[in-house]
Amino acid sequence: MRPARGFDVAEYRARVARAQSAMAAAGLGALLLTTEADLRYFTGFLTRFWESPTRPWYLVVPAQGDPIAVIPSIGAALMGKTWISDIRTWVAPDLSDDGVTLLIATLQEVGGDIGTPFGLESHARMPLAALAQVQQGVTLRSDQGIVAGLRALKSPAEISKITASCAIAGRAFARVPEIAGAGVALSQVFRDFQRLCLEEGADWVPYLAGGVGRLGYDDVISPATDEPLAQGDVLMLDTGLIRDGYFCDFDRNYVVGAPDPLAADGYACLLAACDAGRAAARVGARAADVFHAMNAVIAQGPGVAGTDPGRLGHGLGMQLTEGLSLIPSDQTRLAAGMVITLEPGITLPGGGYLVHEDNFVIDPQGARQISPPVWPQLQGI
């Protein structure tokens, strides 16, 4: 069952109400939002047009009342289909004043200090010259994490959408034996796997990574090469596909023929680490606790040469990664409604990586897996 597209207006009103409550506590007159995900969170404005860097898009969420869109006229028709009624436009690009005067006037009309995301994972998607003008016209300061905090807690409707994306990816992963095997170039596997994701219902496939190697892969962010798969190779594919604006982010590991025993042991260790992470990922636990629960397993794994230097999971939702990080320094408390990935990684003797990842929602009763069940051994291809 795929959930209906979009959200009820009540969902957006609830988001705005929570933002306004937090803004009151922070003494903010409005929020200024500039990125795709932040705009979409409050409006439902969903388009791939953000791929073009030419035009800035602004949303002003005032301390009282409904949000105000300050956007290029090319977006007026689509914004008009959302619940937003106050839509102010200019003809962009305007080389002398690309919406800045209109934005400043709107912010001054709303009044008060303006909060905008300042912290980790955020940026202002607008030219620095325009940002400087805005800072001369109004007081712009950190939103104190209000938007990131709201987005971290998913509604049931959001969880349904992420779950639907997970199901699509799960069906694509199950079909990998159709497209991968000895002699097939990794670049061809990447191309065909994206095709499988589309066939299984993805709207588009913003992210695909992977790696190949007998004793793990040497890197998990490189583009695919034309190197053909060989007997004994472990193949990892990690996708973040989109359906109705929400991501999944998990991977699956395969083996061409029979795996090296060290790779098989490493894979078993990763599954055990993921189980430990799931058990630890309860409401009230800290992100660091979940990290340590997984790290304790992989640090003692048979044949594990080293642990992954990065994080062992993260939040997930409208973006491929968002919110908390499973690292020793992140003291964020897990709360019901968070959606996270558990992503333990190890290095095998020889230095190759092995990574496993699944997706979970934090329920009051504990972490519930929303990516399909993983196979207990490396899947043969």
Which of the stretches 154-162, 253-261, 268-276, 326-334 binds its own copies when contact is defined by CB under 8 A? Answer: 326-334
Residue 60: enclosing H or E segment and its boundaries? strand 58-62
283 binds its own copies (CB under 8 A): no
Which of the stretches 18-26, 213-221, 227-235, 366-374 binds its own copies when contact is defined by CB under 8 A? Answer: 213-221
16 binds its own copies (CB under 8 A): no
Q: Residue 237: beta bridge partners?
A: 210, 252
Q: Is-cis flag, bond preceding 309, omega within 30? A: no
Please say which residue, 95 or 376, places its beta carbon nearer to its own copies: 95
1 binds its own copies (CB under 8 A): no
364 binds its own copies (CB under 8 A): no
Site for its own copies in 221-240 (CB under 8 A): 221-223, 240
Cβ 53 to its own copies, closest distance in Å?
5
Cβ 252 to its own copies, closest distance in Å?
17
Binding mask 240-259 for its own copies (x = CB under 8 A): x-------------------
For residue 297, the SS3 value is helix
Torsion angle in degrees (nearest 10) through CA of 107, 113, 119, 125: 10
Please say which residue, 61 or 124, places its beta carbon nearer to its own copies: 124
Please say which residue, 38 or 358, places its beta carbon nearer to its own copies: 38
Rounded-to-integer distance, Cα 299 and Cα 283, Å: 25
Contacts of 321 (CB under 8 A, 6+ apart): 121, 249, 314, 315
365 binds its own copies (CB under 8 A): no
Which of 322, 335, 366, 375 contacts its own copies by CB under 8 A? 322
Which of 121, 184, 264, 286 contacts its own copies by CB under 8 A? 121
Rounded-to-integer distance, Cα 188 and Cα 225, Å: 9
Which of 11, 18, 26, 47 contacts its own copies by CB under 8 A? 47
Cβ 191 to its own copies, closest distance in Å?
5
Rounded-to-integer distance, Cα 135 and Cα 270, Å: 48
Rounded-to-integer distance, Cα 360 and Cα 159, Å: 10
What are residue 200's phi and psi, to 5 degrees?
-85, 0
Cβ 87 to its own copies, closest distance in Å?
14
Please say which residue, 127 or 257, places its beta carbon nearer to its own copies: 127
Alpha carbon distances (Å) from 282 to 162, 335, 339:
20, 8, 12
**Which of 89, 49, 52 shows the shortest CA–CA distance to 69?**
89
Which of the stretches 60-68, 101-109, 320-328, 360-368 binds its own copies when contact is defined by CB under 8 A? Answer: 320-328
Rounded-to-integer distance, Cα 233 and Cα 184, Å: 12
Which of 253, 319, 347, 359 contacts its own copies by CB under 8 A? 319
Question: What number of chain residues touch its own copies (CB under 8 A)?
Answer: 73
Which of 3, 137, 306, 310 contacts its own copies by CB under 8 A? 310
139 binds its own copies (CB under 8 A): no
- SS3 for 21-37 is HHHHHHCCCEEEECCHH
Cβ 224 to its own copies, closest distance in Å?
8
For residue 272, the SS3 value is helix
The pair of three-digit structure tokens given for residue 204, joined into one six-digit string: 């588009």
Please say which residue, 13 or 48, places its beta carbon nearer to its own copies: 48
Which of 185, 299, 327, 335 contacts its own copies by CB under 8 A? 327
Give the end-to-end CA distance of the chain in Å, rounded to a whole number: 29
Site for its own copies in 51-90 (CB under 8 A): 51-54, 73-75, 77-78, 81
Binding mask 24-43 for its own copies (x = CB under 8 A): -------------x------
Site for its own copies in 190-209 (CB under 8 A): 190-192, 194-195, 198-199, 201-209
Rounded to the nearest 10 degrees, the angle between the axes of helix 128-137 and helix 100-110 is 30
**Which of 238, 205, 242, 240 shows the shortest CA–CA distance to 224?**
238
